[in-house]
Amino acid sequence: MKMTSNILGGLLFVGISLFILLVIPDQVQASSQVGINAQSFPRWIATLMLVCSVFLLVNEVRLQRKNGSINISAFNVDFKKEIRAVLFIVLIVAYALATPFIGFLFASMAFSALALLFFNITNIKFYIFLMVCCVVVHYVFKFLLLVQLP
């Protein structure tokens, strides 16, 4: 059996819906035990999600058994692409962590420079342009929109 996006997605949402169904009694206090209460809607929706996820899984397995898995493309992970994505996420998280310590303006400038390095940009004009943009965004939010940026 090939690991397709339907199988992975189905498994993921079976897990999520089971988790939700499991935590509902703890996380949602039922105001009354009879009739519809605050637990009902999330429980029904989580059950619907579970049913759809199981159906997605069963349907995919049935299709693979019926047609063979020759014509079905497996879920391919392009590691080069995903490493870039993970690195960029790390960069964003680092930007968020640095902001309260060095302030929005300097954190944004550092993030812009690192992002351009990430994209292998050597043209100095790009760096200058983004630095100016950081100052403009900071000015607009802080002084025109009166947002107390860190």
Partner 1 sequence: MDNLFIEGFIAFFTVSSFVYLNLGLLLGLVFGSIPGLTVMLCLVLFMPFTYTMDAIASFMFLLGIYCSGSYGGSISAILIKTPGTPHAAATMLDGYPLARSGKPKKALLTALYASGFGGIFSALVLLFAAPLVAKIALNFGPPEYFILCVFGLLIISGVSSGNLLKGIIAGCLGLLLSTVGMDSISGVFRFTFDDFNLYGGLNLVIVLIGLFAISETISNASKYSKTVKYASIKTDDNKDDVLPLKEFFSSYLTLLRSSVIGTVIGCIPGTGASMASFLSYDTARRNSKNKAAFGKGSEEGIAAAESANNAVTGATLIPLLTLGIPGDAAVAILLGTLMINGLTPGPNLFQEHGVEVYAVMIGLIVINIFMLIQGRLLMPFFAKITKVDFSLLTPLIVIFCFAGTFSINNTMYDIFVAIIFGVVAYVLIKLDFSPIPILLGLVLGNLTEMNLRRTVTMAQGDWFFVLSRPASLALIAIFVSLLVWFAYSRLRQRSLASKTEEQIA
Q: Are 61 and 1 in contact (CB under 8 A)?
A: yes
The tokens describing 126, both together, are 């790009």
**CB 19: neighbour CB atoms within 10 A?**
11
Among 5, 15, 69, 128, binds partner 1 (CB under 8 A): 5
Give whichever of 65 and 93 is closer to partner 1, judged by the CB atom. Answer: 93
x/- site string to partner 1, residues 99 to 128, per CB under 8 A?
A: xx---x---x--xx--xx-xxxx----x--
Q: What's the CA dihedral at 88, 94, 100, 104 to 10 degrees?
A: -40
The tokens describing 127, both together, are 């760096």
Burial class, 16, CB count within 10 angstroms (exposed 0-12 / middle 13-18 / buried 19+): middle
52 binds partner 1 (CB under 8 A): yes
Residues within the interface to partner 1 (CB under 8 A): 5-6, 8-9, 12-13, 16-17, 20, 23, 27-29, 31, 35-38, 40-42, 45-46, 48-49, 52-53, 55-56, 59, 75, 81-82, 84-85, 87-89, 92-93, 95-96, 99-100, 104, 108, 111-112, 115-116, 118-121, 126, 129-130, 133-134, 137-138, 141, 145-150
